[in-house]
Amino acid sequence: MSLFTINKEKCKGDGACVMECPLGLIVMDANAHVPVPREGAESVCINCGHCVAVCPHGAFSLALMPVEECRELSAGWNLSAQKIETFFKGRRSVRIYKKDIVPRETFEKLIDIARYAPSGINRQPVRWIVIHDPAQVQKIADETINWMRSLVNEQSPMAQSLHMQSLIDAWEKGKDLICRQAPHLILTYALKDDMTASGACTIATTYLELAAVSFGLGTCWAGYVNMALNFWPNAKKLAGIPAKASCFSVMMIGYPKLPYFRVPLRNPSRITWG
C-alpha cells in the first residue's frame, strides 16, 4: 500500500505538503507535478498528518488518515491574542471543590481534546486513568500520607524539605491537604523507558487543564500524589498503574466552589536574548 494518495483533480502542485513534512519524506514528481513519497518513506513516516492538514485543496490522504475523516477548520477558528491573554492570566488552580460529581461523559470529552496535544515524533505515549469515585480519591490520599510517614520515620531530607510532617498533622486532624477533597483525579502514565513520555504527559495534562475551564471545571496539579505513585508501591497498585509504567502527572478536578474576580501579580519574566 502506498504511503499516501493524491487526488489529481484537486491537487494544484503548490508543494505545501513537500514543505510541511517534518521528516522531508515528500518530493514533487518533476514530470507529473504531483507529490510522491521518497524511497523508504513508508518505514519512517510518523503519521503526524501535517501533510493532510496543510493541503488547502483537500487533495492529500495518508493511507492511515483519509482526508475525508479529518475535520476541516473554518475561518477564524483561532482565538485573538487578547482573549488568550485574559484566559491564561485569569485561570487559577482550584483547591476548594463542590461535592458534585462530574459525569463520565465530560471526562471522555476532555480527554478526547487532550489527546491532540503534541508528542515527540508523534509517539502518543500518554495513557489515562480517571479516579472517578471520591472514596477512591481519599484512599489514594491516605496512601500518600502513609508514604510520607515512612519518609518522616526515615528522617528523609525530602520529608524535611517538603514539610511532610505538617501535612501528616493536618491529615490526622481531618484536613486534606493532599487531594483537597477533590471529587476526582486524572492520572497520566506511560512506559518507564519511553524517553518522550514525560514531556508528552505533561503537555497533554496541560491541554486538559486549560480545556477543563470551558466545562465549568477547576483543576490543580497533585504533586504529592504523583510522587507517591512512583515511590510507594501500595499507592501505585491502588491507582491501577501497570508495573512497567511510571506516573507522569496527577490532576485534581471538580467543580470549583469559589469564583475568581481578578488577576494576581507575578514576578517579571526572566529573559535572556541570544
pLDDT at 272 over 90: yes
Report the pLDDT averaged over residues 44-56: 97
- Mean pLDDT estimate for the chain: 97
Query: For the segment 224-263, what is each residue's pLDDT rounded down to a tens digit?
Result: 999 999 999 999 999 999 999 999 999 999 999 999 999 9
- Nearest to 226, CA basis, from 251, 201, 194: 251
3-state per-residue secondary structure call for 91-150 = CCCCCCECCCCCCHHHHHHHHHHHCCCCCHHHCCCCEEEEECCHHHHHHHHHHHHHHHHH
**Cα-flanking dihedrals φ and ψ of residue 42, to 5°?**
-60, -30
DSSP state at residue 256: B
Strand partners, 36: 27
- Nearest to 213, CA basis, from 96, 129, 110, 112: 110
> Residue 12 has what pLDDT?
95
Report the pLDDT averaged over residues 98-114: 98
The domain 84-254: what is its CATH number? 3.40.109.10
Pairing verdict, β 35-37 and 26-28:
antiparallel
Query: For the segment 65-87, what is each residue's pLDDT rounded down to a tens digit?
Result: 999 999 999 988 999 999 999 99
Strand partners, 27: 36
Residue 15 gets the label, from left (phi > 0), alpha (psi -120 to 50) or beta, of: left
Residue type at position 264: P
> Residue 1 has what pLDDT?
64
- CB atoms inside a 10 Å sphere around CB 22: 12
pLDDT at 93 over 80: yes
Q: Where are the domains of the chain?
A: 4-69, 84-254
- Nearest to 189, CA basis, from 244, 133, 127: 127
Q: What angle do CA 262, 266, 269 make, to 5 degrees?
A: 135
The domain 4-69: what is its CATH number? 3.30.70.20
